[in-house]
A and B are shown apart, each in its own frame.
Chain A
Amino acid sequence: MTALVLSAADELAGLHDEPAWLRAKRRQAFAVYERLPLPQRTEEEWRRTSLKGLDLDAFQAFEAAGASAPATPIADTAGVLRQSGSEPGKVEIDPELSRAGVLFVPLSQAAREYPELVQKHLFQEVRPDRDKLAALHAALFSGGTFLYVPDGVSIAKPFVSQFWSSTGGALVLPHTLIIAGRGSSFNHVDEFLSPDLERPSLTSGSAEIFAGEASNVGYVALQRWGNHAWQFADERARLEKDSTVRMVHAGLGARFSKNRVEASLNGPGARAELKALYFGTGQQFFDFHTLQQHVVGHSTSDLLFKGALREQAQSVYAGLIRIEVGASGSDAYQANRNLLLSNQAKANSIPMLEIMNNDVRCTHGATVGPVDPEHLFYLESRGIPPMVAQRMVVHGFFGQVLERIPVQQARELVEQELEDRIGF
């Protein structure tokens, strides 16, 4: 096995024909990666999250193109990007949109062709110095998506990026950068997938979203890596005045999945909706750390994370609503609901508030429990067989999140995945 080395950053930059400034950025991030130790259990964020068994030096720095994608991407789109392993992605986009000034290209290509736009935003919200794994992602990201929608452009059909891995044993670290112009409106879906592979992989799927004034952005992350994957990702949106961002994360895959989902509300009238569902089976482990940061007042955030756990699956939810000094008129809601479907499953929930202004409305809640026997009883008393009743209750449990997925095709896909998992 080879250790991850600096030259890998250069090789990746070469593979994607990246400009010098981006190479330099990779090198800087690699230095941070080398400097930082792996997160320790003594750090509060990692206290319930064990990295036991993670050997970063066991991974190859990148993955050559392998088999074709294990599933076809969502149909009926405004544009599609496909990327296999660490190979540069391929894009198809509605030419109409290109003429309107929409940019939907592989991230490295954007760095080459639109350096001022990319340089200003890339890794500004998803910070490489947060921990060793974030640094690794920034140093050795394997490509990704750049989506820019100019002022005033509204697009009904979704953009879709599909990333897949087919060999295992390597880093597969896609990065998404979305810039929404003033008053623009669109949805983007990131789909991460792979079959279950023999050798463990290190994957990510980070996204940074810059929502310009009065823009309206939907972002969906479908995390369907195979059960060999260690996944670490940061999704973070920065919202300007009167903008709306709806983020939905579906955590279905990976053996180990650690995601930070964050929104910073930087202008009055901003509204962030953070929703997620996760369904763990077998030995799966999910860790979500969320942040609703109200930097200015008269902003709204609404978070709902719902998870079901079967067999020995475990989850950690830790979320913070932070209302900064002076952010009066903030309205924030946060809820985490956990459904435990087995005695061996384990759920941790830590919904937190830090409120530095009194003119606010903040409410949060968390629950952990089994399928409500009263619901089952109600259904069974109406002649529905117990197995079917249980399916209905679990399905109903996720309904609130499912209905917030802004892209119908993605919603159907997640529903199908859930059906397969509920499988009582």
Chain B
Amino acid sequence: MAVAPRINVGDDYKEKYGFFDPENYVFKAKRGLSPEIIQEISWMKQEPEWMAKLRLRALDIFRKKPMPTWGADLSKIDFENIFYYLKSSEKQSTSWDDVPDDIKRTFDRLGVPQAERKFLAGVAAQYESEVVYHSLHKDLEKKGVLFLDTDSGLRDHPELFQEYFGTVIPAADNKFAALNTAAWSGGSFIYVPKGVKVDIPLQAYFRINAENMGQFERTLIICDEDSFVHYIEGCTAPIYTTDSLHSAVVEIIVKKGARCRYTTIQNWSTNVYNLVTKRALAYEGATMEWVDGNLGSAVTMKYPSVYLMEPGAKGDVLSIAFAGKGQHQDAGAKMVHAAPNTTSTITSKSISKAGGRTSYRGLVKVQPGSSHVKSFVKCDALLLDDQSISDTYPYIECDESEVTIGHEATVSKVSDEQLFYLMSRGISQVEAETMIVNGFIEPFTKELPLEYAVELNRLIQLEMEGSVG
């Protein structure tokens, strides 16, 4: 019987977040990718054989698949110079003094507690690769809700796992899904039983801490019939790391009558490549909602999707992207209508500043026989100066006549009239622009839990002042 890996955590963290005590061992994979490293990862985790095989095959697929030729520039990623697995107890040399001043200032301005700052800045070296931040409340346990890190999920619930893992996003789906399937570690595993409504959002912080360390979380969420869950990943504070690759896979199954909301606030430091595949299957009368905020990273490529598999299913994506200097946010959404009477909406708001580039890339697909589909896509882009770039690439593929599909997009600058109005009332230009931007993303902000909304508005203010690292 496998033993749970145990992770050393600081005492205050234990009290604060309810971590379990880790077993202490040290394993650090070599840089780069090879079948040996993949096998080592699987062995370290004491995984069943089918998972080891799946990983090896995924590695093979990853190697065969070409890099995407569309989207953002990925040519600088050096796959051979990345650690594909790093055990949590490995001591890192990073100290608080090494953290850049601008990141520290941002923490100050955001009011992040001291302990969390270190944690977010990668100083608290215990918290790598494994998911350690889970607070699973007692009443949830009683209801039969599972909320584990994915490694534990595989260990403790192998049947559930084997039934669903990789069925929503097969390894061959795309190059980065293959990479994740080969090298995954950490992430969340959630199971909500029939009829159970989880009334508090489940939150997990994911981290990248060590230099050049890839982070390949794997999240699997199963909402059984008529259940509800709201899951929140990420945080508004910038997560500091040096050059790194973050390539997660999130698979969600929303069964008949259930509803799942997945909220992401992504704010990786601006050297991270964030290449994520997120997909949900929504069955009869089910609702899937992606609330997706992308602020940080050098490059993000992320298109949360919903496959509407049975009549009455509903998909919503609400996203914002903010690209500052040197950043490219290539984000969007996909809605695949595979059944009649399904509906979807996509609302995308993007802001480009100081030469940043935001691209909306989306797909609405209606399969033959999926009549009475309704889908509406609205993309608005705000360009804050004349060096910044905005792209819109919406794809509509419609194989059925009894449908209503619409797409609308506008690109504009901050209106002079609005600015003038605010400034004539004694508000500085930066403040006025900040107000306008916050107003622009308000449809997104109002869907966030209050503390996240407040933090996001503050963060936008920092971005607008140009004081964010």
Residues of A within 8 A of B (CB): 44, 48, 325-326, 328, 338, 340-370
Contact A367 B400 (CB under 8 A): no
**Is B381 in the interface zone, CB < 8 Å from A?**
yes
Partner of A349, one of B384, B403, B407, B410: B407
Min Cβ gap A62→B in Å is 37
A48/B394 contact (C-beta < 8 A), A351-B407, A359-B413 known? no
Contact B384 A358 (CB under 8 A): yes
A351/B398 contact (C-beta < 8 A), A328-B386, A359-B386, A369-B403 known? no
Tell me the bound Cα distance from A325 to B413 in angstroms: 15
Partner of A352, one of B366, B371, B391, B402: B391
Min Cβ gap B333→A in Å is 15
Partner of B409, one of A361, A364, A370: A364
B residues near A358, Cβ cutoff 8 Å? 383-386, 388, 413
Tell me the bound Cα distance from A370 to B400 in angstroms: 9
**Is B406 in the interface zone, CB < 8 Å from A?**
yes
A residues near B408, Cβ cutoff 8 Å? 363-365
Min Cβ gap B380→A in Å is 10
Contact B394 A350 (CB under 8 A): yes
The binding surface of chain A is classed by DSSP as strand
Tell me the bound Cα distance from A388 to B51 in angstroms: 63
A residues near B412, Cβ cutoff 8 Å? 360-362
Tell me the bound Cα distance from A236 to B410 in angstroms: 25
Partner of B398, one of A346, A355, A359: A346
B residues near A353, Cβ cutoff 8 Å? 381, 390-392, 409, 411
Contact B389 A355 (CB under 8 A): yes
A residues near B392, Cβ cutoff 8 Å? 351-353, 364
Contact A366 B381 (CB under 8 A): no
A350/B411 contact (C-beta < 8 A), A366-B406, A368-B405 known? no
Min Cβ gap B354→A in Å is 11
B residues near A360, Cβ cutoff 8 Å? 383, 411-413
A370/B402 contact (C-beta < 8 A), A352-B392, A364-B392 known? yes
Min Cβ gap B369→A in Å is 8
Tell me the bound Cα distance from A64 to B452 in angstroms: 74
Min Cβ gap B123→A in Å is 38
Contact A347 B398 (CB under 8 A): yes
**Is B396 in the interface zone, CB < 8 Å from A?**
yes
A residues near B384, Cβ cutoff 8 Å? 358
Listed by A's residue number, 28 A-B pairs whose Cβ atoms lie within 8 Å are A338-B398, A340-B400, A343-B401, A346-B397, A346-B398, A346-B399, A349-B395, A349-B398, A349-B407, A351-B409, A352-B392, A352-B393, A352-B394, A354-B389, A355-B381, A357-B383, A358-B385, A358-B388, A363-B410, A365-B406, A365-B409, A366-B394, A366-B396, A367-B406, A367-B407, A368-B366, A368-B396, A369-B401
Tell me the bound Cα distance from A340 to B403 in angstroms: 9
Residue of B nearest to A334 (CB): B409
